[in-house]
Structure 1
């Protein structure tokens, strides 16, 4: 159970981080420079779903692995930083 939860969380972390970077680096410029607002509408919806799954994953991981409050806060803050989920996932993998 713990191994599959960790694998799920790592995948969601990667997908959420990727969708955030795609939103910031591709969809937003397309909206404001290329006058294509639909890029943000589609990407934003996908990112919103992945962000929600990431937060649910944090709750599951915190319960299963008995994370301390500082790690939980770090995971949530990582979701709001462009490369945060990648850094957090890497630290989690390293056992920090």
Structure 2
């Protein structure tokens, strides 16, 4: 069984919580962008949704990068693990999978 977040250093636990929230927000925004906004723009000629969702996703992705990098430093990720986690926010559904794996490994104290 994985260790509880209470066994993590407070700084790491906080970084993990922030990362988890942003991973879900970025994942949902990317799905909205890819499944709703882009089809509306190109198939239905409604570019307004994409014009709103795209910058919001971009902003959240930048915040995700900062939080993921902060977690990588505090949990001592490898360079490869850090890059993979940072890229997880640009491929639909991958941020959800990455969040689960990162959370499990950080809580277990395993390297990423």
The TM-score normalised by the length of structure 1 is: 0.92
Count of residues paired in the alignment: 96
Tell me if the contact between 2:65 and 2:86 (Cα under 8 Å) persists in the aligned partners: yes
Structure 1, unmatched stretches of 5+, are none
Partner Cα separation in structure 1 for residue 49 and residue 89 of structure 2: 21
Q: Which residue of 1 aligns with 2:13?
A: 3
Please state how far the C-alpha of 1:93 moved relative to its aligned partner.
Answer: 2.0
TM-aligned CA deviation for residue 10 of structure 1 = 0.2
1:24 is the counterpart of 2:39: no
Deviation at residue 57 of structure 1 after TM alignment: 1.1
2:95 paired with 1:85: yes
Compute the displacement of 1:62 (Å). Answer: 1.4
The separation in 1 between residues aligned to 2:85 and 2:12, in whole angstroms, is 18
**TM-score computed with the length of structure 2 as normaliser:** 0.80
- Counterpart of 1:62? 72
The equivalent position to 1:42 in structure 2, one of 52, 65, 68, is 52
Which is greater in Rg?
2
CA shift for structure 1 position 80: 2.1
Measured against aligned partners, the alpha-carbon deviations of 1:19-61 in whole angstroms (never above 9, x if no partner) come to 0010000001111122110111100011001110111112101
Return the alpha-carbon distance in structure 1 between the equivalents of residues 15 and 82 of structure 2.
16
